[in-house]
Amino acid sequence: MSAIIKIKPLGFPWETTDPFLFCAYHEDQYPQGNNKLGPNASLEGRNIGQDFNAKDGWRMYHGTTIPGFPAHPHRGFETVTIVQKGLVDHSDSLGAAGRFGNGDVQWMTAGKGVQHSEMFPLLNSDKENPFLLFQIWLNLPRDKKMVPPHFKMLWNEEIPNLISKDENNKVTEILIVAGKLQGKIAPTPAPDSWASSPENDVAIWTIKMEPNAQYTFPNASEGTNRSFYFFKGNEIISEGYTIPVNHEIITNGNQSFTLKNGDTESHLLMLQGKPINEPVVKHGPFVMNSQIEIQEAILEYQQTEFGGWPWPTYDHVHDKTKGRFALYPDGREIIK
């Protein structure tokens, strides 16, 4: 029986299957930065505050002077933010903060509610600021929807990287953000994360294949959903199919799956997990099990702002001189 269930084009954001909600893929070729850590370029012709058009190869998103996403709330799910290029400045309603990127991952369990901003400071004033980010929304089951919010940094130095050579000495490189592969185990995610339980079979891997490289992914457990998102390259081959770039490959998780790359370097993201199999009701940044719970989330946010906003601006960024760091609500700080 074929391991491939379906092949379909990628949209925006990328569609995902239970337990995932969606994946947003952002790649921008930002210009040199100015003294406010925004782009040293004219913003004329952009829909500032809602700029999702890749004019000149980059976007401001919801930012007005600095690209990114100013303060906004979340409840009822987790975000996994993989920053392959560039930097993200995090600030939140718990008083926590951080600057991370260039291979780092932030795992945030929103739980009962948190407000945070994600801004993209352009620190390089003498050269371009390339940026590449995946943000994966991972659902929480009913019994974890209202856990205390928390984030954890998975620093790039801690994330295991599997280097595999096929019989022709061609290399496939797999970064294990979540789950395990060939004896390599990802760092533990945030506290109260549903994904931390091995029985839920959650795995998140980024994959880079040399031209003509081949790799066989081992099977997951019965009932596990698994998808491969082919976002950069030319074509890959599997089970008689030649699959062009910008396609999702949905596979049977309980079967092994072999990919053979074409003649250019290819990049993929793999998402895997057991389905939660509960009702999903979404309203913007809130993901609950019923419409009543959504209404309760909106009302509570209007009344409390999930703790308020302790930073001077909603698009807060950290000092240009700061390196990678994480400041937690208890005052503990990690500097990299």
154-187, pLDDT tens digit by residue?
999 999 999 999 999 999 999 999 999 999 999 9
Instruction: Choose among 62, 153, 69: nearest CA to 116.
Output: 69
pLDDT of residue 83: 98
What's the angle, vertex CA 182, arms to CA 179 and CA 186, rounded to 5? Answer: 30
Spatial neighbors of 307 by CB under 8 A, at least 6 apart, are: 93, 94, 113, 114, 115
pLDDT of residue 241: 95
3 state SS of 60: coil
pLDDT of residue 214: 98
Dihedrals phi, psi of 200, to nearest 5 degrees: -90, -5
pLDDT of residue 112: 98
Q: Could you list the pLDDT tens digit for every one of the 336 residues in the chain? A: 789 999 999 999 999 999 999 999 999 999 999 999 999 999 999 999 999 999 999 999 999 999 999 999 999 999 999 999 999 999 999 999 999 999 999 999 999 999 999 999 999 999 999 999 999 999 999 999 999 999 999 999 999 999 999 999 999 999 999 999 999 999 999 889 999 999 999 999 999 999 999 999 999 999 999 999 999 999 999 999 999 999 999 999 999 999 999 999 999 999 999 999 999 999 999 999 999 999 999 999 999 999 999 999 999 999 999 999 999 999 999 999
Instruction: Choose among 117, 134, 120, 101: nearest CA to 13.
Output: 134
Contact 177, 80 (CB under 8 A): yes
Spatial neighbors of 222 by CB under 8 A, at least 6 apart, are: 253, 254
3 state SS of 11: coil
Q: Which two tokens stand for residue 283?
A: 């309203």
Spatial neighbors of 165 by CB under 8 A, at least 6 apart, are: 171, 172
pLDDT of residue 1: 75
Share of the chain above pLDDT 70, in %: 100
Omega before 19 within 30 of 0, i.e. cis: yes
